[in-house]
């Protein structure tokens, strides 16, 4: 059974204080590791897909990296508008993605 | 391209009633999945439809059902509503040749 564990559950940062979110996973036959951002009361917004260990992708202040057991979402010099819940999911052989519980990020001005 | 749309955005029902939610996928996406999201359980997979056929099903009771039409639009139905069915119901569409899913804004269902 595919499993995804995200840590920390919640993270408070000061504006400009860089940090990383962790996503540990077990999956049989990784078809992709996905990162989403979700604002309260809205649907998840797709951010990145990573397919193989060593792969990195960037978008504005976000950079996602992947190893064989975990993925990191690095947030550089965050701004208050980066406050959201960040969800990680893995797609395995069943094509049904398994989601983690998310990390709730609050960036204080 | 227009994104995934869901209607209605908000619903209030009472126990025992039934409800139908609608989802229109991104143009060209033939795969539609439904998820239930609650604070306690997170995002849980309900079912996936592709070309009008249910391809995968999550671990939910038979009160939860769905269907997909020839234009790829999908509906899900929940019968005999229970208080615990209160949740954000999310629809996601996917191009079958890709792995990424794109979510709609969700329908917030409140069961009183």
pLDDT tens track for B33-63: 999 999 888 899 999 999 999 998 999 999 9
pLDDT band for position A19 (50/70/90)? very high
- Are the C-beta atoms of residues A75 and A10 closer than 8 Å to each other? no
Is B108 within 8 Å of A97 when comparing Cβ atoms?
A: no
For residue A44, give how far its alpha carbon lies from the nearest alpha carbon of chain B (Å): 6
Is A43 within 8 Å of B100 when comparing Cβ atoms?
A: no
For residue A66, give how far its alpha carbon lies from the nearest alpha carbon of chain B (Å): 16
Task: Quote the pLDDT of residue A31.
Answer: 86
Task: Quote the pLDDT of residue A1.
Answer: 83
Q: Which residues of A touch B105 (CB under 8 A)?
A: 42-43
Q: Residue B4, CB half-sphere, CA atoms under 13 Å: how many?
A: 32
The pLDDT of A11-25, averaged and rounded, is 98
Task: Quote the pLDDT of residue B97.
Answer: 82
- Are the C-beta atoms of residues A60 and A47 closer than 8 Å to each other? no
pLDDT band for position B2 (50/70/90)? confident
Contacts of A48 (CB under 8 A, 6+ apart): A34, A35, A57, A59, A62, A64
* C-alpha separations of A70 from A21, A103, B81 in Å: 10, 15, 39
pLDDT digits (tens, 9 = 90+) for A24-83: 999 888 889 999 999 998 999 999 999 999 999 999 999 999 999 999 999 999 999 999
The beta-carbon neighbor of B102 closest among A42, A46, A100 is A46
Task: Quote the pLDDT of residue B73.
Answer: 97
Task: Quote the pLDDT of residue A11.
Answer: 98
Q: Which residues of A touch B40 (CB under 8 A)?
A: none
Minimum CA–CA partner of B108 in chain A: A41
Task: Quote the pLDDT of residue B95.
Answer: 86
For residue B29, give how far its alpha carbon lies from the nearest alpha carbon of chain A (Å): 15
Task: Quote the pLDDT of residue A91.
Answer: 86
The beta-carbon neighbor of A49 closest among B42, B100, B106 is B100
Task: Quote the pLDDT of residue B98.
Answer: 81
What is the three-class DSSP state of B85?
helix
The beta-carbon neighbor of B103 closest among A32, A44, A95 is A44
Task: Quote the pLDDT of residue A90.
Answer: 93
Is A101 within 8 Å of B42 when comparing Cβ atoms?
A: yes
Task: Quote the pLDDT of residue A28.
Answer: 85
Rounded to the nearest integer, the mean pLDDT of chain B is 94
Task: Quote the pLDDT of residue B65.
Answer: 97
Q: Which residues of B touch A92 (CB under 8 A)?
A: none
Task: Quote the pLDDT of residue A8.
Answer: 97
Q: Residue A59, CB half-sphere, CA atoms under 13 Å: how many?
A: 10
Q: Which of A95, A98, A101, A104 is the best residue to mutate to test the B interface, defined by the most B CB atoms within 10 Å of its own CB?
A: A95
Q: Is the pLDDT of residue A95 over 90?
A: no
Contacts of A102 (CB under 8 A, 6+ apart): A6, A9, A38, A85, A86, A87, A88, B42
Instruction: Answer whether B45 touches A (CB < 8 Å).
Output: yes
Residue matched to tokens 């908000």: B10
Peptide bond into A8 cis (omega under 30): yes
The pLDDT of B88-92, averaged and rounded, is 97
Is B100 within 8 Å of A41 when comparing Cβ atoms?
A: no
Q: Is the pLDDT of residue B106 over 90?
A: yes
């Amino acid at each position: 059974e595919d499993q995804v564990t995200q840590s920390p559950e919640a993270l408070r940062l000061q504006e400009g204080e860089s940090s990383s979110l962790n996503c540990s996973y077990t999956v049989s036959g990784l078809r992709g590791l996905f990162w989403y951002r979700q604002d309260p009361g809205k649907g998840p917004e797709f951010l990145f897909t990573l397919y193989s260990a060593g792969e990195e992708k960037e978008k504005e202040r976000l950079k996602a990296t992947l190893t064989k057991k975990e993925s990191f979402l690095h947030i550089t010099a965050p701004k208050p508008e980066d406050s959201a819940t960040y969800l990680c999911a893995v797609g395995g052989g069943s094509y049904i993605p398994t989601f983690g519980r998310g990390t709730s990020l609050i960036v204080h001005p | 391209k227009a994104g995934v749309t869901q209607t209605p955005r908000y619903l209030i029902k009472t126990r025992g009633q039934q409800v139908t939610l609608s989802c229109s996928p991104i143009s060209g996406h033939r795969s539609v999945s439904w998820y239930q999201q609650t604070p306690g359980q997170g995002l849980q997979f309900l079912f996936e439809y592709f070309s009008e056929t249910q391809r995968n099903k999550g671990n939910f009771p038979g009160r939860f059902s769905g269907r997909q039409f020839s234009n790829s639009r999908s509906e899900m139905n929940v019968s005999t509503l229970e208080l615990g069915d209160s949740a954000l119901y999310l629809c996601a569409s996917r191009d079958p040749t890709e792995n990424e899913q794109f979510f709609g804004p969700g329908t917030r269902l409140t069961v009183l």
